[in-house]
Structure 1
Amino acid sequence: MIASLKAAAETLGPELSAVRRHLHAHPELSYKEHATAAFVADKLRAMGLKPQTLADTGVVALIEGQPGGPVVALRADMDALPIMELNEVPYKSTSPGVMHACGHDVHTTCLLGAARLLAERRHEFKGTVKLIFQPGEELLPGGASLMIKEGVLENPAPVEILGQHVFPRLPAGQIGLRPGRYMASTDELYLRIKGQGGHGAMPELNLDPVVVAAHIIVAAQQIVSRRANPKMPSVLSFGKVIAQGATNIIPDEVYIEGTFRTLDEAWRTEAHRHLRQLCEGLAASMGAVCELEIRRGYPCLDNNPAVTARVRAAAEQYLGPENVIELDQWLAAEDFAYYSQVAPACFYRLGTRAPDGRFAASVHTPTFDIDEAALPIGAGLMAWLTLQELQAAE
């Protein structure tokens, strides 16, 4: 069966490349994926499926095999990033300032390919495959959360869900996965520190919010270095600081943005409390006011150990044991985590680098691209994993 599935996936290669290039050339930002959703729905209808719309720009469809089997869900995300593409390729983004720099065009293409392979084999398996094409992975509150609220994991409810994501650190032909806690929660931090501005030569007449902000930025790192369990990965980073003064002007306020990430939900909540106490208390001790807004983002992503073990075994059958890599924990975040909080899940990474080292640029950069040899591999592997999981869950 593996040989015939691989051959079928390879036959789809040119079509998958065309689909991916179309999506790459026509990216849409989070929650604005109207043309992308319509394109996906048309492809699904051509397979004889009946796509439905959820969360405005999400698409869901069912592949119904023989009756009596379980339901397995497969997920891809469709949104792009606000990045100006620097690649000079025929399929370069035609939307200035918008780019598929995180590989969601690849995810969508591979799931369409897997859907095609599974739809052609619907009489060979028991159960149902639920296809989930979701919007807004890159922007809070996360399209996954909206899809779940609208019932994507109900009627029928899947026994598990699988997700695939590009990984330029691995060459095409390899995948990476990790059981248990894999990716971090992510929270957005917005601080506004209010003082009293004035002439830089007369600081005694002012209340300098820049100095207060500097103390807060440095002191807040103690939450990670002295409050967190050293065995629990945590990251606190401030990436934006705005103080609209000048060489001789102390501003009235300083605005700061940052992120807090961890791999433990209980510590996440506790860290929020420590951060608020520190920011507000330290500012008050220096005579200023700090207003802190914490926008709670995606939860930790948990790969169900049993599902992940089966996925590993099936992937080793399809790719060879040497091409299935154990990944480290990663403090990036993914809204697939919402699905993993509701249903047993496995989120794995698809190698996309070329053997000669090309296409090694990281995701979220303006030069990200892939070796398109990864497309039939990703589509065929997802179809194979689904078939194996349907059989295991009977």
Structure 2
Amino acid sequence: MNPDRFDRLVQIRRHIHAHPETARKEFGTTAFIAEQLTAAGLAPQIFPGGTGLYCDIGDGRGPLVALRADIDALPVADEKEVPYRSTQPGTCHACGHDVHTTIMLGVALELAQAPEAIEGRARFIFQPAEEAVPSGAHDAIAAGVLKDVAVIYALHCDPAGEVGRVGIRTGPITSSLTAFDIQITQPPAGTAPGAHPADLVMVMAKLITDLPTALQNALPPGAAMVASAVFGTVNSVPGPDGRPERVTSLGTVRSLSREAWAAVPELFERLASAIVSPYGVTFNADFNQVAPAVTNDPDAMRVFDAAVTSALEPGARYETPQSLGGEDFAWYVESVPGGLARLGVRPRGRATAYDLHSGRFDVDEECIAVGVKLMRETLRLALTEYSAR
């Protein structure tokens, strides 16, 4: 990549990183992206609500290939001591969305210089609220970004991968995600005369201890049916006598298959009710099926794989495992074929790196040049591949 162009993209990334905005508040980020695209002679379309946008490049002939980036930050304090440290207290780009955005913007700005070279159309989607529930993928799809799309691609930063390398996987690459909100309360007054009220904190502790194993054991055998329950927060509300009258917990269940994901709400509620019923408490649970697993289409991934080979250094490709992370790119590939790859961002020579969602997470900015080369080549190959269909 031309050094001046790379320096410009680094400055774009650092601007976005220093001015993070959380889900559905990305007004400044949206305006900044739109300004870059407009200055390049393009016509970005901002989504209803004012956050997120998309932009088409190329004429109406040939296939339409979409590239998607997410633009929101996390409610996590930036703990790094760098010149581009977040200027927003308690908010930072701890999941690499600033990098995803910069890469897709870099490809778009490059193509804007010669749009006639595209044999077909490219659609760049800058999606808000990936981290929210419900997520911004629903907003983008409702705005029509998948209309006429033949195939869609995305990247996600991978601190486990060294910069210059790209993780490829066909089939499920992330996990399905279910969010739960449970509440344990004392039974209505008078239902058990003379009975001592239950220790609701102890009952919740019993549930936290026993449910994950019970859930796993209740699923049919097979690695694809693995489900992992994680209790994220626990809160108690004291009554007039100081005893908790209500205990609540928020958490998630991550499943390796769609079948397990579909089974989780009914199975969770049945098992949890059985665990707490001996204590005579009232149990309620609400569930949100946040996203299925991102399932990479075989044909789409053949194009991605070929792009890694042709655009990057030998040995850049690695086979990446299915993760327990959730990703709302899944909703796009529920409707059209697509593929998600993992972009190595760990500096060369460093054995470890801070993980995603850490306030110390950062990237080797060389990954921006790698990502632009990869996505530019993926777009070129996909336009050729899907024009023949």
Aligned equivalents of 2:290, 2:305: Cα separation in 1: 29
Match of 1:209 in 2: 200
Q: Is the 8 A contact 2:187 2:280 kept in 1?
A: no
Structural RMSD (CA): 2.1
Is 1:174 matched up with 2:165?
yes
Give the letter aligned to residue 231 of structure 2.
F
Give the secondary-structure state (helix, strand or coil) at the position aligned to 2:315: helix
Which of 325, 333, 338 aligns to 1:332? It is 325
Whether 2:223 is the aligned partner of 1:225: answer no
Distance, in Å, in 2 between the alignment partners of 1:264 and 1:169 is 23
Question: Is the deviation greater in 268-277 or in 323-332?
Answer: 268-277
Residue identity over aligned pairs, in percent, reads 34
Query: Within 2, Cα distance between the matches of 1:162 and 1:176?
Result: 14
The reply to whether residue 60 of structure 1 matches residue 54 of structure 2 is: yes
In the alignment, is residue 93 of structure 1 matched against residue 121 of structure 2? Answer: no
Distance 2:48 2:180 in 1: 26
Q: Report how many residues are paired.
A: 378
The Cα offsets for residues 149-193 of structure 1, whole Å up to 9 and x where unpaired, read as: 221111xx1100000111111121111121011111111111111
In structure 1, the partner of 2:336 is: 343
Are 2:37 and 1:44 equivalent residues in the alignment? Answer: yes
Amino acid at match of 1:180: G
Give the secondary structure class of the aligned counterpart of 1:173: coil
Partner of 1:4: none
CA contact (8 A) 1:359 1:368 kept: no
Deviation, 1:224, is 1.1
Give the Cα–Cα distance (whole angstroms) in 1 for the partners of residues 343 and 139 of structure 2: 26
Deviation at 1:205, TM superposition (A): 2.8
- The Cα shift of 1:281 comes to 3.8
* CA 1:68–1:177: 2 relative to 1, 3 Å: same
2:140 matched residue in structure 1? 147
Q: Does 1:31 align with 2:2?
A: no
Query: Is the CA contact (8 Å cut-off) linking 2:185 and 2:245 kept in structure 1?
Result: yes
Shift of 1:11: 4.2
Unaligned runs of 5+ in 1: 1-6, 198-202
Contact map agreement 1:196 1:251 (CA 8 A) in 2: no
**Amino acid in the other structure paired with 1:75:** R
* Alpha-carbon distance in structure 2 between the residues aligned to 1:240 and 1:153: 36
Aligned with residue 279 of structure 1, among 268, 272, 283? 272
Tell me if structure 2 keeps the 8 A contact 1:83–1:98.
Answer: yes
Using structure 2 for the length normalisation, give the TM-score. 0.92
Instruction: Summarize the alignment of residues 260-339 of structure 1 with structure 2, pairs less than 5 Å apart.
Output: 260-339=253-332
1:361 is aligned, of 350, 354, 366, to 354
Distance in structure 2 (CA, Å) of the matches to 1:359 and 1:269: 35
Match of 2:97 in 1: 104
Which residue in the other structure is 2:191 paired with?
none
C-alpha distance in 1 between matches for 2:285 and 2:112: 51
Secondary structure of residue in 1 paired with 2:223 = coil
Structure 2: gaps of 5 or more residues: 189-193
Aligned to 2:126: 133
Structure 2 contact 187–282 (Cα < 8 Å) conserved? no
Say whether the 8 Å CA contact 1:16–1:109 is kept in structure 2.
Answer: yes
Distance, in Å, in 2 between the alignment partners of 1:270 and 1:368 is 34
Q: Is the 8 A contact 2:201 2:247 kept in 1?
A: yes
> SS where residue 297 of structure 1 aligns?
strand
SS of residue matched to 2:230? strand
SS in 2 for 1:69: coil
Tell me the residue number matched to 1:372: 365
Does structure 2 conserve the Cα–Cα contact (< 8 Å) formed by 1:228 and 1:234?
no
Letter in 1 for 2:175: A
Cα gap change, 1:359 to 1:230, in 2 (>3 Å): closer
Tell me, in whole angstroms, the C-alpha distance in 2 between the residues paired with 1:388 and 1:111.
16
CA contact (8 A) 1:144 1:336 kept: yes
1:243 correspondence with 2:236: yes
TM-score by length of 1: 0.91
CA distance in 1, matches of 2:288, 2:281: 23
Cα contact 1:161–1:346 (8 A) shared by 2: yes
Give the equivalent residue in structure 2 for 1:183: 174
Aligned match of 2:14: 21
Deviations 1:217-240 (A, max 9, x none): 233221113324332232111122
1:244 deviates by 5.0
Amino acid in structure 1 at the alignment position of 2:161: L
| Contact persistence 2:219–2:260 (CA under 8 A) | no
Cα distance change of structure 1 residues 50 and 355 upon mapping to structure 2, 3 Å threshold: same
Structure 2 distance, partners of 1:211, 1:28, is 39
C-alpha contact 1:180 1:303 (8 A) present in aligned 2 = yes
Q: Is the 8 A contact 1:179 1:308 kept in 2?
A: yes
- What amino acid is aligned across from residue 326 of structure 1 in structure 2? E
From the superposition, tell whether residues 362 and 127 of structure 1 become closer, same or farther in structure 2 (CA, over 3 Å). same
Give the stretch that moved more between structures: 210-219 or 83-92. 210-219
